[in-house]
């Protein structure tokens, strides 16, 4: 009889442990802030993406500078291959915001020129990546020594 009571107690204890263990998964997006995107990780850096050479033997340096007040300076510098100075530069001053509280997407608001979405955003110490205008891109912090 005591063996049966012990087995029933152990079964009940196991069931309770399993229920508590499975119910500990919450609705929070991340339990570790190290993995969460944030303004602190995004702002205050100059993010640089250098494109591959295209059909007209040029490459483009795309630069983004986010600030905490929702302003974004975006620059495109066009270079001929083997030249160190751009032959043309375009600068856009616009606003930005996170799409929602998950901080996994950013809206670039160009005012009368519309909006662009930067989806699946990942901000890490030296890298900013995501899908911008349908293309997967990786930006690198300009102060990061890549060598």
Judge whether residue 134 has pLDDT over 60. yes
Model pLDDT, residue 124: 93
Rounded-to-integer distance, Cα 48 and Cα 144, Å: 10
Complete domains list, the chain, with CATH:
39-141 (2.40.128.20)
Could you tell me which of 108, 103, 124, 111 has the C-alpha nearest to residue 62?
108
pTM of the model: 0.75
pLDDT for 116-132, tens place per residue? 999 999 999 899 999 99
pLDDT tens-digit series, residues 15-59: 776 666 655 555 555 556 778 899 999 999 999 999 877 777 889
């Amino acid at each position: 009889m005591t063996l049966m009571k012990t087995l029933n107690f152990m079964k009940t204890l196991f069931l309770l442990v399993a229920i508590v263990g499975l119910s500990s998964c919450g609705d929070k997006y991340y339990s570790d802030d190290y993995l969460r995107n944030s303004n602190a990780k995004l702002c205050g850096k100059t993010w640089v993406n250098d494109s591959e050479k295209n059909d007209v033997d040029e490459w483009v340096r795309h630069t983004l500078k986010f600030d905490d007040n929702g302003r974004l300076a975006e620059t495109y510098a066009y270079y001929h291959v083997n030249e160190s100075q751009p032959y043309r530069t375009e600068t856009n001053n616009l606003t930005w915001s996170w799409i929602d509280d998950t901080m996994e997407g950013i809206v670039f608001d160009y005012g009368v020129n519309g909006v662009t979405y930067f989806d699946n955003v990942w901000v890490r110490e030296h890298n900013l990546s995501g899908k911008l205008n349908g293309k997967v891109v990786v930006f690198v912090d300009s102060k990061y020594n890549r060598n």
